Chain A
Amino acid sequence: MGDQRIASAGGQPPAEVALRLDGVTKRFPGVVALRDVSFDVRRGEVHILFGENGAGKSTLVNLIAGTYEPSEGSIELDGAQLRLTTPNEARQHGINAVFQEFSLVPTLSVAANIFLGREQLRGRQLDNKGMERQAHDILQDLGFEVDPRARVDRLSRSEQQMVEIAKALQGEPKILILDEPTASLTEREADVLFALVDRLKGEGVGIVYITHRMQEIHRIGDRITVLRDGTYIATVQAADADEDSLVGLMTGREVTSLYPQIRTSPGEELLALDGVTLARSPIAGVSINVRAGEVVGVAGLVGSGKGDLAEACFGMRSLKAGELRVRGRAVSKASPKTMLDHGVYYLPADRRVEGLVLPRSLRENISLASLTEPIFQRRGVMSRTRENAVVRRVVDQLQIRPPTLDRPIRNYSGGNQQKAMFARGMLRDPAVVVLNEPTTGVDVGARGDVYALIQEMCERGAGVLVVSSDLPEILNLCHRAYVVHRGVVRAELAGDGLTEDAVLANFFDD
């Protein structure tokens, strides 16, 4: 089976295989996370892992990185059998990983982090100056502009990402694992990363790359392996792959179009920021509004302040100047509670940090924001029966899987968690929904479902504000969009004027 795959994967002479997994199975108590998967990475190749959340990508890379041991099957590096029991062992064999959860010590400097565990001495003391100098050279060489003396917790997420990558590249890796590395990078920073990936390919490093983004797959990918439900589905050449066929392989169903055509009939103004300046934010003198029955986008680079704007709409930020209006009336002393009472619902950008109560059940997470509503009560007392019935209905409607109400939310996939966040809002039947990065960490299959929900809310007359770093989302979903640049609205684009070129033209400095 393995041979046949390699033969079918391309006409050119097969490059040398650096890493090979053969018939690997990983069981956890009660579940099989990975079932009989074979996979290989050649030297100088970018091998993309593609699949829905929960398909087994993370388990697979964790096996390679030594976090877990396989229950069955073997791992070979350069033809020699490997038995990895710890990430440290994997590193010693030249297998380095950059995960989404960083392995940096926030209170130490960049240089100290890069040399963590391999500190250099001068005499019997730490050679801090020397390590800073080398760290500077390393970062410079990679094209990353980060001060080696800065404390890691003072850096932005994208800078931390660069430090993490720089750290992983120490000790000349043979295999490099990158788990959605561009998730927190700006377009320009991503370009630096892609250039680096090209260089590493040239040096013969085999790269395992997890991403959901089609542009990246075409930009740097060589082969793509698709996983679904812990099983191997197919390996295809990146050059031959188009989005629809990949999504079809990933979900096992035909996907006609990801983005729905949303009908719009704009009504009264529901939510508006008027001349708003925020404390501790670049946002200054910004005016935006959302009317009933339309989807309005907010685009901008990381650091433009577009996320702060979304938070301001939900009363999470104090206004230094300007006002927040709901249905034409100024809201003084806005807080999440008052905004909820005004019919606004907010979907936070980081659902694990700001949205989900991870140890609690699906049911409790969905009902959390509406327990004071009459639907959950019987004679003024919270009713478990009502709660079960109401939550069951919305879980079925949104097809949250598995529909087990008492399962802890942390055991759900990213897509289903995001649906639960939508379900929480829908129970309040909000007039306005503010969506801050609605599809981060959501696989393509569930993304379609999220878009369908946005469509439904809009067509039922709600105003939808979508703040997103995903440009296609802004272009294909929104009727109107604001482009934010360095804290100010640079452009408002609508209808036919809302094009990729028009948005990009306002993204960067002139």
Chain B
Amino acid sequence: MPDHSRTAAAAAATLADAEAERGMARRALQMLVTIGVLPILLVTMIVVFGLIEPRFLAQDNILNILRQSTFLGIVAIGQMLVLITAGFDLSIGAIVALTSVVAATVMSSVLGDDGSGSALTAIVLGVGAGLLAGIVAGAVNGFGVAVLGVSPFIVTLGTSSIITGAALLETGGAPITGLPTDFVKVLGTDKLLGVPVVVYITAVIVLVMYAVLNRSRFGRYLYAIGGNEIASRLSGIRVGRNLMVVYILSGTFAAIAGLLLTARVGAGEPNLGASFALQSITAAVLGGVSLRGGEGKLGGVVFGALFIAMLSNGMNLIRVSSYWQSIALGALLVLAVVVDRARQRVRHTV
């Protein structure tokens, strides 16, 4: 008899255990759905790199990572805007290179071969020309998508090739040197309170874009257009005009990143930013932006960019070859999309 009851109790306990286990699994799944894989990846990476290479967590290196993440972060924000409208911008990297070449050409020609021109004029004109190049490139993309109705993938793939070709043609592939020293110093190397200037610039962009996405009508319309373009049109939203603005913004952000990178490397480089199209999409998707449009939070994208910058930095520190890094980034993009799909599936059934 006592034996019997003990077995029953044990059975009940096992049953309760199984129930609890299932509850825990469900909670874990639910957590994954709400927060995504990014925080887990981020923590894992910090621990792993920190253990292998203590310098990874040194203050200097952390500032370094911050600086590196700003360039990608800025273009990823532009990419995110486009992704939210269910589009793509594959020309981001090409626009970065174009901006770099255009700005450097203008600056060095204003300054003159002997450096006698006004540095201030050179910087103002160079920055203006670089931004204009990005805006025009973005407008061309926007025209193709919003007015001609061509798929964003094709339009930006085409402009990407055109722009890259133009930048190489202009420079013959060689870097353009002779930039004003102040430009290189202030944007490239200066620090304010021990933090690189680019980090402040990026922070301002993030804050402004947060307000735009969450507090403005324009931001709301982007989500609506990506979620359902017909419904948006029937609600009186000017879809074409908003799409135009989105592609111009994406081009502008690419131009800003291009200017900052030019200052950092100290020359106009036609090969700058070649990996940005892939990396910006990876950062956005890791940050929870849906490739089907209509969904995505700015905070996630910022962390996505930070994550990729950390990964590159860590792999460099422990001397992973650039070939392997390329393989790792590609795998990461596919993984991020697979997880995104799984999350969507679970969310649909909930």
Contacts and interface: CB of A to CB of B under 8 A. Distances in A.
A310 to B, nearest CB: 12
B47 to A, nearest CB: 29
Interface in B278-303: 290, 292-295
B300 to A, nearest CB: 15
A252 interface: no
A54 to B, nearest CB: 13
A24 to B, nearest CB: 17
Interface in A347-373: 348, 353-360, 364, 368-369, 371-372
A456 to B, nearest CB: 22
B231 A354 contact: yes
Contacts of A368: 220, 224, 231-232, 235, 237
A252 to B, nearest CB: 25
Given A372-B217, A382-B215, A357 B232 contact: yes
Given A337-B238, A364-B224, A372-B217, A30 B290 contact: no
A336 B237 CA distance: 9
Interface stretch (B118-126, B139-147, B176-184, B342-350): B342-350
Contacts of B275: none
B225 to A, nearest CB: 9
A424 interface: yes
B230 A30 contact: no
Nearest to B293: A359
A29 B34 CA distance: 13
Interface string B212-253: 000111001101100110111111111000000000000000
A19 B216 CA distance: 55
B227 A359 contact: yes
Contact of A29 (B215, B216, B238, B350): B350
Nearest to A384: B215
Nearest to A387: B220
The main secondary structure of chain B at its interface with chain A is helix
A1 interface: no
B29 interface: yes
Interface in A368-388: 368-369, 371-372, 381-382, 384
A140 interface: no
A346 interface: yes
A369 B236 CA distance: 6
A119 interface: no
A232 to B, nearest CB: 22
Contacts of A424: 235
B349 A28 contact: yes
A88 interface: no
Contacts of A340: 235-236
Given A371-B217, A384-B215, A348 B234 contact: yes
B66 to A, nearest CB: 31
Interface in B64-103: none
Contacts of B33: 29
Q: Give chain A's interface secondary structure class.
A: mixed
A357 B223 contact: yes
Contacts of A348: 230-231, 234
A154 B252 CA distance: 43
A410 interface: yes
Contacts of B233: 336
Contacts of B202: none
A371 B220 contact: yes
A341 B220 contact: no
A170 interface: no
A203 to B, nearest CB: 36
Interface string A31-57: 100000000000000000000000000
Nearest to A367: B220
Contact of B294 (A314, A355, A360): A360
Contacts of A355: 228, 231, 234
B5 to A, nearest CB: 27
Given A28-B350, A29-B350, A359-B290, A381 B215 contact: yes
A364 B227 CA distance: 11
B227 A358 contact: yes
Interface in B308-350: 346-350
A357 B350 contact: no
Contacts of A381: 215-216
Given A336-B233, A348-B234, A424-B235, A359 B294 contact: yes
B30 interface: yes
B185 interface: no
Contact of B234 (A314, A372, A382): A314
B349 A382 contact: no
Interface in A305-347: 314, 316, 336-337, 340-341, 346
Given A353-B230, A371-B217, 4 more contacts: A359-B223, A368-B220, A368-B224, A384-B215
15 contacts: A29-B26, A31-B350, A314-B234, A316-B234, A336-B236, A337-B238, A346-B234, A354-B230, A357-B223, A357-B227, A357-B228, A360-B223, A368-B237, A371-B217, A381-B215
Interface of B: 26, 29-30, 33, 215-217, 220-221, 223-224, 227-228, 230-238, 290, 292-295, 346-350
8 closest A-B pairs by CB: A357-B227, A369-B235, A359-B294, A340-B236, A337-B236, A357-B228, A368-B235, A28-B349
